[in-house]
Chains A and B, each alone.
Chain A
Amino acid sequence: MKKILVADDSSTARMFVIRCLQIVGCRDAEFLPAANGREAYDTLKGQEVDLIVTDLNMPEMDGATLLKKVKASPRFHDIPVIVITSGYNPAKSEELQKMGAMAVMEKPVSPPALMAVLTTFIQPEEKSNDGAAW
């Protein structure tokens, strides 16, 4: 079972992201919620995580710092990171992708937008017969 870490200080935003991921095919994934970047990084230390979906603007440790730590870690740097932010614009997107983000998405995410990102990430052999991703 794939594990997806979802970091956002808003429980509403976490629920919305998880619901979208389930709609686009991640029905069987295990979702690991975190309320900020520090919680997310602590969760990483104890779990084998396949994908990180993180908000940018969070208390204690923001998403940019989490991204920086993940990409600087020999253990975690291969984990793809999707950044979801209300503060999206082209300049911010470019900055975060240079830092190693696989994709930067605008809040609120939609299933089609997530699908477009995940299609580039999930290998064909990982898709099941009914088209579900995970």
Chain B
Amino acid sequence: MTELPGNHTAAMVDAVVETFENLAFMEPEHLTGERPSFGETAIRYRLAITSPFAGWIRLTIEKDLAASIAGTVWSLDPAEVEDQLCRDNIAEILNTIAGRFMKAAIPGDQLFALGLPEPCEPEDATAGAGATYPFLLEDGLFRIDLVI
């Protein structure tokens, strides 16, 4: 198994905060010492890291919070956000977080490759996480897992 990059926590927290600030104009707060769990209704997406090492970055988020974020991005009432739009928005957020994380975590002269965001099952979203990064946003929770 590949070791986690030495700067992984700072790289991931920066990637998450910058992504939410730039894409959704929201400021998530990194929570330390917690590993929140989520119910069946949570939205779960994962994205493969395929090079220079193999792994996954996964995002788990409460459905109401996901709808609120999509509403902010699309200038819609969260109640009007359709499920597909909500999921598309979360997938794009994960995609952006993953890219920013990899950019910070590996040297600038080294190429990296990522897969496409895809929905995953609850058990996939919790098994074997190498590192977990929980966040608070608008009184809701989401979590990023890095597995390498």
Q: Is B91 an interface residue (CB 8 A)?
A: yes
Q: Is A92 an interface residue (CB 8 A)?
A: yes
- Identify the B interface with A (CB < 8 A): 19, 22-23, 70, 73-74, 85, 88-89, 91-92, 95-96, 98-100, 102-103, 106, 108-116
CA distance A89 to B102 in the complex (A): 9
- Enumerate chain B residues within 8 angstroms of A110, measured Cβ to Cβ: 22
Q: Is A13 an interface residue (CB 8 A)?
A: yes
User: Which of B19, B73, B102 meets A87, CB within 8 Å?
Assistant: B102
- Enumerate chain B residues within 8 angstroms of A59, measured Cβ to Cβ: 116
Q: Is A90 an interface residue (CB 8 A)?
A: yes
Assuming A87-B99, A107-B96, is B22 touching A11 (CB within 8 A)? Answer: no
User: Which of B88, B109, B116 meets A90, CB within 8 Å?
Assistant: B109
In the complex, which residues 80-109 of chain A have their Cβ closer than 8 Å to any Cβ of chain B?
85-92, 95, 106-108
Interface residues as binary, A26-38 with B (CB distance below 8 Å gives 1, 0 otherwise): 0000000000000
Whether the Cβ atoms of B91 and A10 lie closer than 8 Å is yes
CA distance A123 to B106 in the complex (A): 38
Whether the Cβ atoms of A87 and B113 lie closer than 8 Å is yes
- Enumerate chain A residues within 8 angstroms of B99, measured Cβ to Cβ: 85-88, 106-107
- Identify the A interface with B (CB < 8 A): 9-13, 15-16, 57-59, 85-92, 95, 106-108, 110
CA distance A59 to B96 in the complex (A): 16
CA distance A86 to B104 in the complex (A): 12
Closest to A109 in B: B22
- Enumerate chain A residues within 8 angstroms of B103, measured Cβ to Cβ: 87-89, 106
- Enumerate chain B residues within 8 angstroms of A87, measured Cβ to Cβ: 99, 102-103, 112-114
**Shortest Cβ-Cβ A-B pairs, 9 listed:** A86-B99, A10-B92, A12-B92, A108-B23, A90-B108, A12-B89, A87-B99, A86-B96, A108-B22
- Enumerate chain A residues within 8 angstroms of B96, measured Cβ to Cβ: 86, 107-108
CA distance A91 to B103 in the complex (A): 10
Whether the Cβ atoms of A86 and B114 lie closer than 8 Å is yes
Known: A15-B74, A86-B100. 4 other contacts (CB 8 A): A87-B113, A89-B103, A90-B109, A107-B95
Whether the Cβ atoms of B111 and A92 lie closer than 8 Å is yes
Closest to B19 in A: A108
CA distance A16 to B70 in the complex (A): 12
Whether the Cβ atoms of B114 and A10 lie closer than 8 Å is no
CB distance from B28 to the nearest CB of A (A): 15
Whether the Cβ atoms of B88 and A11 lie closer than 8 Å is yes
- Enumerate chain A residues within 8 angstroms of B106, measured Cβ to Cβ: 89
CA distance A86 to B115 in the complex (A): 11
